[in-house]
Amino acid sequence: MDCHHAGVTDWSLIGSGAAVLIAAASFWWTRRTHILAPKRDVLRRLLGSRHLLTDAMASHRGPGEPYVALNEIAVAYYRDENVVRALKCYSAEKNVANLNTLIREMARAARSNLDKFDDNFLKKPFVPPGPQAGPDSGR
């Protein structure tokens, strides 16, 4: 038996095994990314436009981004029972507590960490300022 030839075979088997592991890991990561991307997109749009769902913006309500995002939750998160349950609760009673629960469940399912933001931060989104009284406002 040729010792050099046996060593080449061993290294080729190790290399082949490593290539298979790398390919499997790459496939898993790509699949995970494709599954989480729509969830993160809906979550991003809901968080970015949640100020339109607050009482402060009640007079500005109408067709808009948060409503599209809320309607897309059923599609993007259909397998996530906690999100579906939270969406049903928010649909039944639209209040800040239910919205915060929905957002937190969506974040968990999308593997996005919102732990650094407490409920107080989530329930007070940044709201565009109202019309300001300027020098010509007295006319």
Tell me what pLDDT residue 73 has: 93
The secondary structure of 22-72, three-state, reads HHHHHHHHHHHHHHHHHHHHHHHHHHHHHHHHCHHHHHHCCCCHHHHHHHH
34-48 pLDDT tens trace: 788 999 999 998 888
64-97 pLDDT tens trace: 678 888 889 999 999 999 999 999 999 999 888 8
Tell me what pLDDT residue 121 has: 80
Domain boundaries, the chain: 36-123
Q: Rounded to two decimals, what is the model's pTM?
A: 0.65
Largest Cα separation within the chain, whole Å, is 103
Residues 45, 68 contacting (CB under 8 angstroms): yes
Report the percent of the chain where pLDDT is more than 70. Answer: 64
**Spatial separation of the C-alpha atoms in residues 41 and 83, rounded to whole Å:** 15
Residue 33: band (very low, low, confident or very high) from pLDDT cuts 50, 70, 90? low
Tell me what pLDDT residue 133 has: 44
Q: Does 138 have pLDDT greater than 60?
A: no
